[in-house]
A and B are shown apart, each in its own frame.
Chain A
Amino acid sequence: MSQPKTDEQLLHDFLAGERAALGELARRYETALLGLATGLLSGRRDLASDAVQETWVRVIRFGKNFMARSSLKTWLYRIAVNQCRSLTMPPGVPASKVDPETPATVTSVDTPAVAADRNHAVRRAVAQLDADKRFAVLLCYHANMTHAEAAEVLELPLGTLKSRLHAALTELRTLLPAEAKP
């Protein structure tokens, strides 16, 4: 069984005219990028879709300029994060503006209503963070991302990223209502 192609190989194949290679890249990263974008954009799935579509457009248009100085994954996420920055709402946006259709994370001990309420509270609290802290905390807790990768995406030293993460978590604890805490 042949080894699956690396991300860089897929990009190279796409630039050579193989459309399916881009489809494979999308299969690997589109869902993750949509998730991250949704989080960064306070649950706005429509804006998240715009951000990710624009990310693919930039991959198509500027893929030939990718110099492999970082991994393709880092490059993709960096583009997506920058798109989210350009679409992001200012901190303190009322929760009513947040997409109410975003499903909540349901644990085994919670009812859907409780889970939804807790999720809403966390989202509201995250929305109140400033952009730097919000991006740092969501990237660090993104399923697909290590701290080192997050630092590379945000083009920050690892120490700076950790400082922002610590500050964000501290602020979140003060912002979250008592019932959201365990």
Chain B
Amino acid sequence: MNEMATPTFDLENELRGLTTWHGPAPDLWKAALAADRWRNAGRAGTRWHRVALWAIGGIAAMLAIGVIGVWTLSGRPTRSDYGGPFAAGYRGEVERHHGAGGDFVVRAERIMTLGAPLAAIQEVPPASSGRASFDYLEQETGFVADQAGEAEGADRQVVRKATIELVTKDVRAAFLKAAHLISAAQDEFVQESSLTGTEPHLQGSLVLRVAVPRLSEVLNELRQLGTVQAETSSGEDVTTQVVDLEARLRNEQRVEAELLQLLDKRQDAPLKEIIELHSQLSQVRQTIEQYVAQRERLSRLVSLATVLVLIRSDDAPPPRMGLSSYFSGALADAWYAAVRLLVDTLAVLVRLLLGGAIWWLILLAIVLAVRAHLRHRRRSV
């Protein structure tokens, strides 16, 4: 065994003796088996503990996603709710009515009729277009266009705006018909109009100035020109401005009258004073003319409602919008879609877990039985 020049017999023996076990073997292999079993049991316990923690965490996450989804889906309009990126300046807020199959709800802001403010209307009866919703609005609020001026009278001055978005096969025809709705006899006119694109992707827009008493009638006729995609209406109360303007105008007119009287009485005054008086008179006159112009402008705004009509064909792509609007709209849509997907996934998981509960229990029983059988078999060896 030893292939080298051997050391002394004693040293060799002593070295062999150092690596000899004296006494019976303590069967350490049994202790090792027991230790391994405990370790596996502990790991299994730890593993089950981890599984339980993960399950609880997963359920909590799903619940949180579900809550976020419900909160998100129940409130906020998205870009698609706006039905297209038409001029935001004319657009009021459109809210989707849940449970009514996607009907649009017109939200009127600060339209005051019969002395009662109109709160935001959230509910409409089932309908397929905004037409019925607007009629409902009229019923509930008592706002009838042809009565609006009478009901409000001279005490209330409201600037009305409306926007209507139509889709139709023949854009040109609808465009021309819309333009011919105005009545020159009532000083109505087309403030702007444009027809862009080529067949079959024409898009038209008109800004009609319509007499307030005829607003409802004109809107009804516009609705018949195509399918209404969106419709908004708003009113801005400018009574305070008008009253203030009238007061200032009267004040300036009084000052002008006084200056004229003074000028008349002081014909023999020094030239310097007369020139001074004329200068002040000129300033007052200028101010009066400004106030009169503002009053007339407000009067025109109040007497003639502004109706923005947007017409596009069925096949036309939505008009291009600004990048920032597109970006925010795209993010909003993506968020909406993502949350819906998560909520749908959660719904499927809940359906699987709860609906298949019995089968899950049966499977678990089978797994436990097999494990117990295998463990029993190992022990018996």
Interface residues of A (CB under 8 A from B): 17-20, 22-23, 25-27, 30-32, 34-36, 38-40, 43, 49, 52-54, 56-57, 59-61, 102-105, 107, 118-119, 122-123, 126, 137-138, 140-143, 146-147, 162, 165-166, 169, 172-173, 176, 180-182
Q: Are A30 and B18 in contact (CB under 8 A)?
A: no
Q: Are B21 and A182 in contact (CB under 8 A)?
A: no
Complex Cα distance, B20 from A18, in Å, reads 29
Complex Cα distance, B16 from A34, in Å, reads 13
Q: Are A18 and B15 in contact (CB under 8 A)?
A: no
Check A35/B20 contact, CB under 8 A, given A30-B28, A52-B28: yes
Q: Are B15 and A31 in contact (CB under 8 A)?
A: no
1/0 per residue, CB under 8 A from A, across B2-22: the answer is: 111001111111111111111
Q: Does B31 contact A (CB under 8 A)?
A: yes
Q: Does B269 contact A (CB under 8 A)?
A: no
B contact residues, range: 20 to 34
Q: Are A162 and B4 in contact (CB under 8 A)?
A: yes
Complex Cα distance, B88 from A142, in Å, reads 94
| One of B2, B18, B22, B28 near A56 (C-beta < 8 A) | B28
Q: Are A182 and B14 in contact (CB under 8 A)?
A: no
Q: Are A39 and B19 in contact (CB under 8 A)?
A: yes
Q: Does B154 contact A (CB under 8 A)?
A: no
| A-B pairs with lowest CB-CB distance, top 5 | A105-B17, A56-B32, A39-B19, A35-B21, A26-B29
Q: Are A126 and B20 in contact (CB under 8 A)?
A: no
Q: Are B13 and A107 in contact (CB under 8 A)?
A: yes
Check A140/B2 contact, CB under 8 A, given A18-B381, A19-B378, A60-B36: yes
Q: Which of B324-379 contact A (CB under 8 A)?
A: 377-378
Q: Are B25 and A30 in contact (CB under 8 A)?
A: yes
**A-side contacts of B12, CB under 8 Å:** 141
**A-side contacts of B87, CB under 8 Å:** none
Q: Are B1 and A57 in contact (CB under 8 A)?
A: no
| One of A103, A122, A143 near B14 (C-beta < 8 A) | A122
Complex Cα distance, B378 from A38, in Å, reads 33
